[in-house]
Amino acid sequence: MNMYSQSTNVFNRENQKEMKKTDEYSPSLFRSTKSFYNFPCAHRQFKHSGNCSLIHGYSRSFHFVFGCYQLSKEGFVVDYGDLKELKNFLEYMYDHTLLLDEDDPFLEQFKELEKQGVCRVRVQPMGPGMEATAKFVCDYADKLLREKTKGRAWVENVEARENDKNSSIYFNPNAGFKGWNPSP
């Protein structure tokens, strides 16, 4: 084997298979990104002692990094056509909505206002902040992607931005190949 074939050999399929079996913590070989912009969303963090306990809003955006070891037959990490449900989910959660903590003492009053058409209330398990948002969105997208690709691709991390200045990044602790037929 000459030097050339040794160095290119790293990328052949046999070695990719070996790597998956022996080292599940290997970084994914291929990555792609997808961004979704401009979700006008209000929130309030009732536990905050400052301004963040007041209802205020931002134009949220979401930046995904996807990973895989083996590309699709078309040569993609992710076919962006498979991300329609993700876009719908982001619109449901963050487009003209009011995000609240599930323990917000005014939650019932806000839900009353929702019935009267004043707001659309959404609740996230860990609250409305950007850290919780990044994790919440990552968990949803990772499950969706594994279903769509039969486990071939996953979410590496998600950056959730509330404006130009502030964002949170959640690194998926379950990133990596977990089998081709994950149980639903």
How many of the other CB atoms lie within 10 Å of CB of 32? 16
Q: Which is nearer to Zn ion, 30 or 46 (CB)?
A: 46
Angle between helices 130-148 and 84-94 (to 10 degrees): 150
Binding test (CB under 5 A) with Zn ion, winner from 19, 29, 42, 52: 52
Tell me how crowded residue 143 is: count the other CB atoms within 10 A of its CB: 15
C-beta neighbour count of 166 within 10 angstroms: 10
- Least distance (Å) between residue 158 CB and Zn ion: 19
144 binds Zn ion (CB under 5 A): no
Tell me whether residue 52 or residue 144 sits nearer to Zn ion (CB atom). 52
CB of residue 130 to Zn ion, shortest distance in Å: 9
Contacts by 49-57, CB closer than 8 A, 24 or more apart: 55/98
How many residues bind Zn ion (CB under 5 A)? The answer is 1
Only one of the segments 15-23, 50-58, 68-76, 130-138 lies at the binding site for Zn ion (rule: CB under 5 A); that segment is 50-58
CB of 45 to Zn ion, least distance (A): 6
